[in-house]
Amino acid sequence: MANLKEIKGRISSITSTQQITKAMKMVAAAKLRKAQDRIIQLRPYSEKLSGVLQNVSSTLGSETPNPYSEAREVKNVLIISITSDRGLCGGFNANVMKATSKLIEKKYKSFQKSGNLEVLPIGSKAHDFFKKRNFKIIDTYANLFTRLTFENAREAAEMVMEGFLNKRYDRVEIIYNEFKNVATQIVRTNQFLPLEEKALEAGTASQEYDYIFEPEKEEIINLIIPKTLKTSFYKAILESNASEHGARMTAMDKATDNAGELLKELKLTYNRTRQAAITTEILEIVGGAEALSQG
């Protein structure tokens, strides 16, 4: 059985750790509120913009070509993996990296072996993970979360879009955590480029839109599509940012509770050990007194 000094030291150490996890939970909660507000405000705009793009595209047919929908033979692939810069957020980062590795193993193993697969990590955890495994990485935007603004996200999106137009990449996939609530984050794997033809939502499929184009159709389409892609890219980053703080808040809450349970057990052990030590001392004193009286 551990001695009293060891148990007392462990109690002190766990108490300090519990204070840290409480503080980290409070910080994550404050950051989550801000990040959640940003993604909730962006979602309706992004969904409406995508809906307008789908409706406009359905009226154009093949008369107006869309370079971002060009389906060609896949020779070069880019995978965008979005994690966080820091840990202590449960399985948040591990889930994304596991999903990315699974996607590569399942669909793009041959591209990786031939050197035709690149990874764009956003977040230090993804950068370190793929660098250690000798993937071809683009580390320009690994620290994007330290300066998370639409302008910086747009710059990264434009780099990816330009690479697709220049045929540096024939397919771009993006993997991130979608924020559902504080306790739940859903790993999403979406094809970013080329744009896939998606059926309209059930609620709007029966509606017919008669658009008046001012200026020309081509000019409007060339404006809407890049803007939709940049907004979609920024939305994925904000989803991941909110998910990170939610995951960290949940992880720190559980860590705090676990520390409390451990403290209860240690304090009980401490009291039992102390009681046993006192009992032993009393018995020794009584035994010594009895021996002296007999002597």
Query: On the CB side of 169, how many CA atoms lie within 13 Å of its CA?
Result: 23
CATH of 24-252, one of 3.40.1380.10, 3.40.50.300, 3.40.1190.20, 3.30.460.80: 3.40.1380.10
Rounded Cα distance, 257 and 276, in Å? 29
Give the residue extent of every domain in the chain.
Answer: 24-252
8 Å CB contact between 236 and 174: yes
- pLDDT for the residue numbered 121: 96
- For the chain, 295 residues long, give each residue's pLDDT as a single digit of tens: 568 888 889 999 999 999 999 999 999 999 999 999 999 999 899 888 877 777 766 665 556 667 888 888 999 999 999 999 999 998 999 999 999 999 999 999 999 999 999 999 999 999 999 999 999 999 999 999 998 999 999 999 999 999 999 999 999 999 999 999 888 999 999 999 988 765 333 334 445 566 676 777 777 777 888 999 999 999 999 999 999 999 999 999 999 999 999 999 999 988 888 888 888 888 888 877 777 777 6
The span from the CA of 220 to the CA of 197, in Å, is 18
At residue 50, the pLDDT reads 79
Residue 209 pLDDT: 61
Q: For position 57, what pLDDT does the model report?
A: 64
State the catalytic residues. Answer: 89
Q: Are 86 and 228 in contact (CB under 8 A)?
A: no
pTM for this model (two decimals): 0.84
Give the span between the Cα atoms of 122 and 55, in whole angstroms: 32
| pLDDT number for residue 195 | 83
**282, containing H or E segment:** helix 217-294
Which of 273, 264, 268, 282 has the alpha carbon at shortest distance from 18? 264
d(CA 139, CA 186): 25
CA quadruple 111, 117, 123, 128: dihedral positive or negative?
A: positive
